[in-house]
């Protein structure tokens, strides 16, 4: 497993792959403000061990991919969907099974609409409907505790890697479900890896400026590929009704609740999630 930098349309995207390139491809798309390291390496290897070729990558403004000065980005979710398609191009993959977490699931929806020939199946974890039209705007909002915590980010000494890591680790704690144990040591290792490899850590906040696109809103019913919705029943970032709305709006969807889980891919759920992805992508 080694990093591979790809370039398209003036953008660099940092990627990594796991497994045999001859196996069916699974592209993992991470959520907002997080690099690919939050697709845990062990999780990726175990998914690859099911006979899948697994690719993870850094979205723009995270990790080692192209970053913009904080507050200066001018791209939107459709551009991030183009990045995903470019990753597939770089690995010479025509079609892939797409797995998106949170914002990554919304990128996956736009990918399926903008580049429909590239998507074999969708797996949307802890995600929601792309856009702000009906019924998305009637869904419950993020827990104010999360917003209040991140409002304090301006007080963090971001030039101090340890201070930044502690702040981000505690932010992750807020997303852990009440029936899951928060593994501070494991999360801390991921966060420190995130801090150490970022081109500009604060650029991750540019994801708060992401633009939508009316051309892709209200079109969930056009996505005909098999879709698996995986969602923690105690998700405080995107509460469980978001999963129900996705499952109800996608014509060919199934819903897998993770009882007591939060907004996370928790190690306690890896076996369940990996088995579900294996079953969902088999023979498609």
Active site residue 61: no
Single out the catalytic residue among 263, 266, 269, 280. Answer: 263
Give every CB contact of residue 103 below 8 A, 6+ residues apart in sequence.
30, 31, 32, 77, 127, 207, 210
Active site residue 263: yes
Please classify residue 257 by burial: count the beta carbons closer than 10 Å to its beta carbon, then call 0-12 exposed, 13-18 middle and 19+ buried.
middle
The Cα–Cα gap between 231 and 259 comes to 9
Single out the catalytic residue among 235, 266, 269, 280. Answer: 235
State the chain's maximal CA–CA distance in angstroms.
51
The Cα–Cα gap between 281 and 254 comes to 13
Active site residue 280: no
Residue in 128, 108, 107, 77 with CA at minimum distance from that of residue 232? 128
Single out the catalytic residue among 17, 65, 102, 203. Answer: 102
Question: DSSP secondary structure string, 5-26?
Answer: EEEETTEEEEEEEES-TTSPEE
Catalytic positions are 102, 235, 263
């Amino acid at each position: 497993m080694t990093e591979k930098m790809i370039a398209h349309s003036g953008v660099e995207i940092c990627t990594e792959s796991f497994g045999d390139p001859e196996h069916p491809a699974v592209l993992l798309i991470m959520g907002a403000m997080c690099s690919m390291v939050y697709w845990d390496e062990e999780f990726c290897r175990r998914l690859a061990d099911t006979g899948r070729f697994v690719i993870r990558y850094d979205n723009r403004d995270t990790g080692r991919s192209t970053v913009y000065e904080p507050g200066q980005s001018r791209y939107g979710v459709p551009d991030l969907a183009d990045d995903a398609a470019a990753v597939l191009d770089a690995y010479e993959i025509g079609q892939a099974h797409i797995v998106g977490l949170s914002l990554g699931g919304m990128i996956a929806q736009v990918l399926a609409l903008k580049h429909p020939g590239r998507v074999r199946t969708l797996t949307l974890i802890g995600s929601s409907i792309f856009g702000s039209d009906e019924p998305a705007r009637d869904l419950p909002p993020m827990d104010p505790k999360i917003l209040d915590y991140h409002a304090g980010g301006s007080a963090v000494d971001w030039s101090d890697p340890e201070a930044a890591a502690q702040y981000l680790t505690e932010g992750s704690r807020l997303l852990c479900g009440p029936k899951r144990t928060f593994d501070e040591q494991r999360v801390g290792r991921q966060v420190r890896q995130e801090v150490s490899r970022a081109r500009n850590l604060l650029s991750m906040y540019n994801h708060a400026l992401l633009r939508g696109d009316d051309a892709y809103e209200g079109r969930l019913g056009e996505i005909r590929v098999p879709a698996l919705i995986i969602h923690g029943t105690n998700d405080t970032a995107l509460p469980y009704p978001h999963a129900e709305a996705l499952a109800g709006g996608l014509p060919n969807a199934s819903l897998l609740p993770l009882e007591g889980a939060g907004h996370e891919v928790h190690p306690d759920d890896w076996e369940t999630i990996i088995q579900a992805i294996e079953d969902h992508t088999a023979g498609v």
